[in-house]
Amino acid sequence: MDLFTPFQRTFSRRPTLHVRAPGRVNLLGEHVDYNDGMVLPVALDRAVFLAAAPTEDQVVSLQALDLGKAVSFRIEQVEDKVDVDGLPLPDWARYPAGVAWALQEAGLEVIGAQVAYSSTVPIGAGLSSSAAVEVAFAGLWRAMGGWSVDNLHIARLCQRAENHYVGVACGLMDQFASACGVVGHALYFDTRSLEWQPLPLPTGAVIVIADSGVRRSLTTSAYNQRRQACEQAVELLHQHRPEMRALRDISPPEFAAYSAFLPPEIARRAEHVVREIARVESAVAALQRQDAQIFGALMYAGHASLRDFYEVSIPEIDLLVDITRELPGCYGARLTGAGFGGCTVNLVEEGHAEAFIQALGETYQQRAGRQAQVYLCHASSGVEVKPALT
């Protein structure tokens, strides 16, 4: 993406660094990262791009090209969440400002910068545009400051920014995938031990994203309510399983034995998490065998659970998933992201991908009366910082 011209037009100088941080799609393991579970995300070839240059005045000037908006804030005032004029920072600027706050809290140097940025990750679609912004800015300040912190640590600092500065109680998966992506691979990530390994995607299968066109805001959605339900489940189950620390610590058969002690709604939320973690373990084995058929069946099962037990799907998303069952070459489909709108992820036989994309879009428009953006994606590398090209 060419950001050189808009950067030079805005700041009357040349950028010195170019940063790319990908969005992510989660193949399996939804709403389990804040339950110490295992997840299977993929870093996408849709990303946030920054063009930047350092300054000496400890002011960060942001030009959000997609929004047509700009703001500046002082690094020493970042905790106050105000711009250089003392006005509240707009919501979109709190993601980079939160990263500056988290880095300083960790004792890392953050210097002034002029930054123009743009994204090919749809905002609010469940592909982690916010995490990509956070990781991009963390990568930028790491390069500018010359300090040595690995990508996993970068992801953890970005999660801290989103949790404690922006105010969204997200898990670590989104930032991890954006920071640590591997070309052509899904990422098996244990959110408790923080151990991870890349696993090759099934040969001959491709990822297709279908954007329902329905948007949601995490901070105003029921995301935090779902997290609280999981915490309540652990608290109640702890009376019967004192060694439990998280829902990750109870197997599906054990949960079946103890779920009667939970209120019905809490039991439904917890059952999704417990069974979803088990699905991820089965999916790892399927990837190791290169078994796209089994992997796809687990995706469909995961969607049904998100719809019926976790109750984060919506009719438009359910329709997108249902249509895929009629289309040749589709191994599996499911809601991806927090829910309440956004996208589905589809695992499709490569030879059928073009026809699948066209048919899914046309059928959705006929039945939903609205347009879906349906596109092919590839698994990409994580955050990258390079000298700016002129």
Q: For every residue of the chain, which 3-state class applies, written as one string?
A: CCCHHHHHHHHCCCCCEEEEEEEEEEEECCCCHHHCCEEEEEEEEEEEEEEEEECCCCEEEEEECCCCEEEEEEHHHHHHCECCCCCECCHHHHHHHHHHHHHHHCCCCCCCEEEEEEECCCCCCCCCHHHHHHHHHHHHHHHHHCCCCCHHHHHHHHHHHHHHHHCCCCCCHHHHHHHHCCCCEEEEEECCCCCEEEEECCCCEEEEEEECCCCCCHHHCCHHHHHHHHHHHHHHHCCCCCCCCCHHHCCHHHHHHHHHHCCHHHHHHHHHHHHHHHHHHHHHHHHHCCCHHHHHHHHHHHHHHHHHCCCCCCHHHHHHHHHHCCCCCEEEEEEECCCCCCEEEEEEEHHHHHHHHHHHHHHHHHHHCCCCEEEEECECCCCEEEECCC
pLDDT at 219: 45
Provide mean pLDDT across the span 59-77: 96
| Confidence (pLDDT) at 124 | 65
Give start-end residues of each CATH 3.30.230.10 domain in the chain. 4-192+380-387
pLDDT score for 292 = 97
> Which pLDDT belongs to residue 217?
56
Note the Cα 143 to chain centre separation in Å.
Answer: 23
Q: Which of 337, 342, 276 is nearest to 314 (CA)?
A: 342
**CATH 3.30.70.890 segments of the chain:** 205-377
pLDDT at 106: 97
pLDDT value of residue 390 = 53
* The CATH number of the domain covering residues in 4-192+380-387: 3.30.230.10
Computed over every residue of the chain, the mean pLDDT equals: 94
22-62 per-position pLDDT tens digit: 999 999 999 998 899 999 999 999 999 999 999 999 999 99
- Please state which CATH class domain 205-377 belongs to: alpha beta
Share of the chain above pLDDT 70, in %: 97
pLDDT over 90 percentage in the chain: 88
Distances, alpha carbon 20 to alpha carbons 68, 128, 144, 318, 381, in Å = 20, 14, 15, 32, 10
Please list the active-site residues: 174
Is residue 127 predicted with pLDDT exceeding 80?
no
Compute the distance between CA of residue 201 and CA of residue 188 in angstroms, rounded to an integer. Answer: 11
What's the average model confidence in pLDDT over 283-298? Answer: 97
Q: Considering the entire predicted model, what is its pTM? A: 0.91
